[in-house]
Amino acid sequence: MTLVFIAALLYFIATGMLAAALRADPASPTGHWRTPAIGALTLHAAVHVIAWQETHGPDLHFFAALSLVGLGMAAVTTAVAMRERVAALGVLALPLAGALLIAYRLYGHAQPMTLDWQEKLHATIALLAYATLAVAALLAVTLWLQERALRRREFHGWLRALPPLVQLESLLFRTISVGFTLLTATLLSGLLFVENLFAQHLVHKTVLSLMSWLVFGGLLIGRYRNGWRGRKAVRWTLVAMALLVLAYFGSKFVIELVLRR
């Protein structure tokens, strides 16, 4: 519990420092917030590693998976903020990771899963895909807010914390491209261990994941062939992400928390 408390505290400290830095200089916040953020990320990962060692297997149940996705989102956001002017996303991603870590700890460790190397590979790629595409969803919402503010000529101070609209849009599609590649690898790696689609309760997950993959793929094709952008890009990104959330966490919520299987 001590590691969880320290990690969550560091997440919230980093968030506070980042928010203060953005208020002082929205265009170029100082990097001091990254120190507690990196410390929080390290401890967050350590919590899961220690839990897996104690239970002699990976815990990938509902709250554990949410916590790992939160860790991935915070890590991706922190890493991207070192090169791109999107540190403001950390104000959302960092406290979210801390809250999900606390939820995981309060729920407790579930029975570890017996996974072979193919299943571990599939789970790892899947979590990376979800985390990357969740960051893309945050970027889409940010793009929508920025575009709406500019269209209404509402020049809020927070706009200075974001890159220009074209640059933000480019970052959104680069993130989607990476996430789409990981999602493709997730679906392909899933073929290695799916023996009985119905017995393993994977029908809904597979169908919804494929639908999300098709929407993301269609969006990327529309972008590069027809120059899709703006509200259309935001709309399809959020639709695809909603399908992905339903595919994985929706099914896990019903099976593990409602049906108790």
Domain spans of the chain? 1-114, 115-261
Q: Residues 14-50: pLDDT tens digits?
A: 999 888 887 777 666 666 888 999 999 999 999 988 8
Q: For residue range 87-143, what is the model confidence (pLDDT) as tens digits? A: 788 888 999 999 999 998 887 665 656 666 677 777 888 889 999 999 999 999 888
Quote the CA–CA distance of 119 and 142 in Å, as a whole number: 34
Distance CA(24)–CA(142), nearest Å, equals 20
Would you mind telling me the total number of residues written for the chain in this entry? Answer: 261
Side-chain half-sphere exposure of 119, counting CA atoms within 13 A: 11
Q: How many CB atoms lie within 10 A of CB 37?
A: 27
Q: Does position 86 have pLDDT exceeding 90, yes or no?
A: no
Q: Which residue has the higher pLDDT, 72 or 143?
A: 72
pTM summary value: 0.86
Q: What span, in angstroms and rounded, lies between the C-alpha atoms of 199 and 153?
A: 55
CB atoms within 10 A of CB 50: 11
195-199 LR contacts (CB < 8 Å, sep 24+): none
The arithmetic mean of pLDDT across residues 232-261, rounded, is: 80
On the question of pLDDT at 211 being above 80, the answer is: yes
Say which residues have a Cβ less than 8 Å from residue 92's Cβ, sequence separation at least 6.
Answer: 138
Is the model more confident about 119 or about 144? 144
**What pLDDT shows up at residue 261?**
59
